[in-house]
Amino acid sequence: MELDMLGIIVLVSSFIFFLVIGTPIAYSIGLSAMATMLVSFDVLPAFSTMAQRMATGLESFSLLAIPFFILAGQLMNSGGIAMRLIEFAKVLVGRLPGGLAMVNVTANMLFGAISGSAAASASAMGTIMGPRMEKEGYDKNFSAAINVTSATTGLSIPPSNILIVYALASGGTSIAALFLAGYVPGILTGLAIMLVGSVYAYRKKYPVGDKIPFKQGVKKFLDAIPSLMMLVVVIGGIIAGIFTATEAAAIAVVYSLILALIYKEITVKHLPTILIKTVRTAGMVLLLIAASIGLSWVMSFENIPSTVSSALLSLSSNPFVILLIINLALLAVGIFMDMTPAVLIFTPIFLPIVTTQLGLDPIHFGIIMILNLNVGLVTPPVGAVLFIGCSVAKLKIQDLIKPLIPFYIAMFVVLLLVTFIPEISLWVPHFFGY
């Protein structure tokens, strides 16, 4: 048996085994990489090589942006920003059919974009909007379904930690270009979810929001401007070349802290708790990244990417068919694997295929990958955002499966549009010269 085929068998079987017995995903990745290396190396070189690859994989200045953005998200989540964005969203879409549902989606898009975290967005908006929607007569399952699906839009709309991870995995794709590329697909996804939600709300005759007087609307808009300005400062600074993504993340922390202190939602005594939450989250994310980088090197050493590439290209020479197969594969991966390791493991496998064989731009493929994996975040059995949304709404996962189906279809339609119409994601980066 050829070594690369043996490596694939050992890798896949050991990874599945560790997951089945309940091993945490980061350890499952690391242990399956070690098992694969032991096929090729002696014990000591295998251990030392894996440790070296994990350590050197984290020696990236760009990765510093991740803990900073996580801290900024924690500050925003505790700093009263969510409530102000909800009030602003009411002004924008509160009068549409299913007003509160539309507010939930819009606020999720805004808060997710500012915080860069789908989990934080689903938690914050679910906690605030869930009881309000229930009070207005909205079906609880529908409310939770629209909350969790719209929470994922913030991973496409920048700043986004997962786009930074993709930039690392792809070998240096411009973070600024990826940020710009995420705007239109992220907004399209939000609009598609709103369309499904509004049709459902119209059929169920859910109430529209009260008309907001002009002066009150202006006041709500002015209240939200300081929060919205963070997007301008962070993204504008990166595009203008004033600072890097990592420096922008640090500025986001300072900006969100000042804003939270001004709003008086956070005091100095709250900071230790916020910092501890940040360290725990960042520690988990960086461990996942380190283990995934080690596994990516093992797969490269065993020629697994080229083996998968040859197998995929042998199925069809039609670019549309290949892209559809890759999309289906990524959708399946997202169902069973966390987003960060999925990006780090499968980018080296699929990116060479789509760039060399199909001529896709790495920026375009990055957005395709994120949109695919977003679906996995709200799909059982591993969907992290789905679990958070159910926990906040105090529902069982099986309660949400039926109401989620129309939203899955909406997200998949946007995914296909972005996949086969590259300019949807590329025209903004091209406009700015990327």
Cα angle vertex 370, ends 83, 366, to 5°?
130
pLDDT at 239: 84
| Domain boundary, last residue among 251, 279, 301 | 301
How does pLDDT run across 268-293, given as a tens digit for each residue? 888 898 899 889 888 888 888 888 88
Q: How far apart are CA 395 and CA 357, in angstroms?
A: 45
Residues 310 and 394 grouped into a single domain: yes
Residues 171 and 245 grouped into a single domain: yes
Residues 193 and 296 grouped into a single domain: no
Lowest mean pLDDT among 184-188, 241-245, 302-306: 302-306
What's the domain range around 43?
Answer: 1-57+290-301
Residues 51 and 178 grouped into a single domain: no
How does pLDDT run across 376-411, given as a tens digit for each residue? 899 887 788 888 888 888 888 888 889 999 999 999
Residues 295 and 323 grouped into a single domain: no
Tally of structural domains, the chain: 2
| Burial tier of 189 (Cβ tally within 10 Å: 0-12, 13-18, 19+) | buried
Q: 246 lies in a domain?
A: yes
Residues 325 and 361 grouped into a single domain: yes
Residues 46 and 71 grouped into a single domain: no
Range 209-216 average pLDDT: 79
Residues 249 and 129 grouped into a single domain: yes
Distances (CA, A) of 270 to 16, 122, 259, 267, 275: 41, 22, 14, 6, 9
Residues 368 and 260 grouped into a single domain: yes
User: Is residue 47 scored above 80 in pLDDT?
Assistant: no
Range 175-204 average pLDDT: 92
Residues 46 and 134 grouped into a single domain: no
Q: 276 lies in a domain?
A: no
User: Is residue 78 scored above 80 in pLDDT?
Assistant: no
Residues 47 and 95 grouped into a single domain: no
Lowest mean pLDDT among 33-37, 81-85, 324-328: 81-85
Q: 275 lies in a domain?
A: no
Q: 116 lies in a domain?
A: yes
User: Is residue 223 scored above 90 in pLDDT?
Assistant: no
Distances (CA, A) of 161 to 66, 109, 291: 6, 15, 17
User: Is residue 90 scored above 80 in pLDDT?
Assistant: yes
Q: 277 lies in a domain?
A: no
Residues 44 and 73 grouped into a single domain: no
pLDDT at 2: 47
Range 204-208 average pLDDT: 81
Q: 148 lies in a domain?
A: yes
Cα angle vertex 83, ends 79, 85, to 5°?
105
* Sequence-distant (≥ 6) Cβ neighbours of residue 223 within 8 angstroms: 84, 87, 88
